[in-house]
């Protein structure tokens, strides 16, 4: 159980602070609720029953986990799925589980695909772009918080790692 003041990873909003743990009577049913506010949306309040198994709330990463995730962008993520519907379904299922290491692999793969598509004068599909923007934002904000950096710095480091590894791959192909 989380306590008032704890920072948690909430699968729908990213990092949230637990403002209260209280009993509420809704439609005649008394339950204990977490009252959260997303760190990026201070005016928004979210009430979630403590016993709700459909909602994913996790402890935020520790420093070592965050550093490992950041370093993981030096290598390729997971395989790109060519078929749009299948890709959306598989990647969404992984994200729903909340494992940030697995989420980072999807972000990694999608950022690399976006880079390659743009390099060839194209654009990522709009649905893929929105999905990437959402999960990238949640992941990078958590990494920034834990590593005491800014979102922008995390993004720059990741882009640097991706460019460097893509350059190595290009150099190997030329040989």
Give me the DSSP letters along 74-90: TS--SPPPSSHHHHHHH
- What separation in angstroms does the CA of 109 have from each of 10, 86, 132, 155, 166? 23, 15, 10, 14, 12
Are residues 76 and 158 both part of a single domain?
A: yes
User: How many whole angstroms separate alpha carbon 39 and alpha carbon 116?
Assistant: 33
pTM for the complete prediction? 0.87
Are residues 42 and 77 both part of a single domain?
A: no
Residue 1 forms part of a structural domain: no
User: How many whole angstroms separate alpha carbon 58 and alpha carbon 13?
Assistant: 12
Are residues 103 and 139 both part of a single domain?
A: yes
Reported confidence tier of residue 14, pLDDT bands at 50, 70, 90: confident
CATH number for the domain that contains residue 136 = 1.20.58.1290
Tokens at residue 7, please?
């920072």
Domain limit, last residue, from 39, 59, 79:
59
Residue 122 forms part of a structural domain: yes
Q: Which domain holds residue 84?
A: 63-174
User: How many whole angstroms separate alpha carbon 122 and alpha carbon 175?
Assistant: 27
Per the structure, the count of domains in the chain is 2
Helix residue ranges, H only, 33-174: 63-72, 84-97, 100-119, 126-147, 151-174
Report the pLDDT value the prediction gives residue 175, as an integer from 0 to 100: 42
Which of 143, 167, 164 lies closest to 153, judged by CA? 143
Domain limit, last residue, from 22, 37, 59:
59
What number is the average pLDDT over the span 25-51?
89
Report the pLDDT value the prediction gives residue 172, as an integer from 0 to 100: 44
Report the pLDDT value the prediction gives residue 56, as an integer from 0 to 100: 83
pLDDT exceeds 60 at position 81? yes
CATH number for the domain that contains residue 19 = 2.40.10
């Amino acid at each position: 159980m989380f306590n008032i003041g704890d920072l948690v990873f909430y699968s729908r909003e990213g990092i949230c602070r637990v403002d209260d743990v209280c009993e509420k009577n809704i439609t005649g049913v008394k339950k204990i609720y977490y009252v959260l506010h997303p760190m990026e949306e201070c005016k928004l309040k979210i009430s979630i029953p403590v016993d709700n198994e459909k909602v994913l709330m996790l402890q935020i990463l520790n420093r070592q986990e965050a550093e490992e995730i950041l370093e993981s962008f030096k290598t390729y993520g997971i395989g790109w799925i060519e078929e749009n519907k299948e890709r959306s379904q598989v990647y969404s299922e992984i994200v729903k589980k909340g494992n940030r290491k697995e989420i980072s692999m999807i972000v990694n793969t999608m950022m690399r695909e976006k880079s390659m598509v743009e390099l060839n004068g194209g654009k990522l599909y709009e649905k893929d772009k929105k999905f990437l923007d959402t999960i990238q934002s949640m992941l990078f904000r958590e990494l920034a918080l834990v590593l005491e950096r800014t979102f922008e710095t995390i993004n720059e480091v990741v882009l640097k790692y991706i460019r460097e590894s893509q350059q190595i791959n290009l150099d190997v192909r030329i040989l």
